[in-house]
Amino acid sequence: MRTIDLTKSNIRELNEELHRQGGGANEDSWEVLNPRGAHAVAVGVDAPISISVKGSVGYYCGGMNKQAQVTVHGSAGPGVAENMMSGKVVIKGDASQYAGATGRGGLLVIEGNASSRCGISMKGIDIVVKGNIGHMSAFMAQSGHLVVCGDAGDALGDSLYEAKLFVRGSVKSLGADCVEKDMRPEHHAALTKLLKDAGITDIKPDEFKRYGSARKLYNFNIDNADAY
């Protein structure tokens, strides 16, 4: 295992070393010590490596991740796993606002709570939150899955496209064009896999409700003007 201590190296040096792993370098296990809330930890990694961050991080940790597995043993600031393409990012604590924003693939697991706008404009990423999420989560979410084992705040799924939302607890309110939908066998199967991939074994898929788009805002209709 390669260890980098951020009291002795800076973020640029760390990320440069991680970026080299896709170009012939073969160090596949990394440990990052003393992040102390640093921003942009392990961004833009494009290699099948494991990165363990021992502490809490600031903005955009794991952003644009591709292939790597990033585990943060602490909490994360805004934009964790923003625009992630593939791989897996695990936050052992809580995550601030817009976690997983615009993500196109991969799996983001938040073992604590997530703040507002979790999964905003998600485009294929899967997000599993073991706790609660804040308001305006999955705003304009286009594809992928958002799984919430706790409660959801106001305006869940506002202006939603085709992402699938699963909430185990209560939903304070639904956003424009977001409605509750039936849980069909294929949704149970997808949810079972997501919970397993997130390491959740004590919660059953039939404890969740599914939410999705009513598809009334795809094209402008004057009768729906108040909903825009």
Number of domains in the chain: 1
pLDDT score, position 18: 95
Question: What percentage of the chain reaches a pLDDT higher than 90?
Answer: 91
Q: Which helix (H) or strand (E) holds 61?
A: none
**Strand blocks (E) in the chain:** 2-5, 29-33, 50-54, 69-72, 88-91, 107-110, 123-129, 143-148, 164-167, 178-181, 209-213
With a cut of 60, say whether residue 228 has pLDDT above it.
no
pTM summary value = 0.95
| pLDDT tens sequence across 167-183 | 999 999 999 999 999 99
Q: What is the CATH number of the domain that holds 206?
A: 2.160.20.60
| pLDDT tens sequence across 126-177 | 999 999 999 999 999 999 999 999 999 999 999 999 999 999 999 999 999 9
Is 50:32 a contact under the CB 8 Å cutoff?
A: no
Is 43:60 a contact under the CB 8 Å cutoff?
A: yes
Q: Which residues pair with 97 in a beta bridge?
A: none
Domain that holds residue 161: 2-227
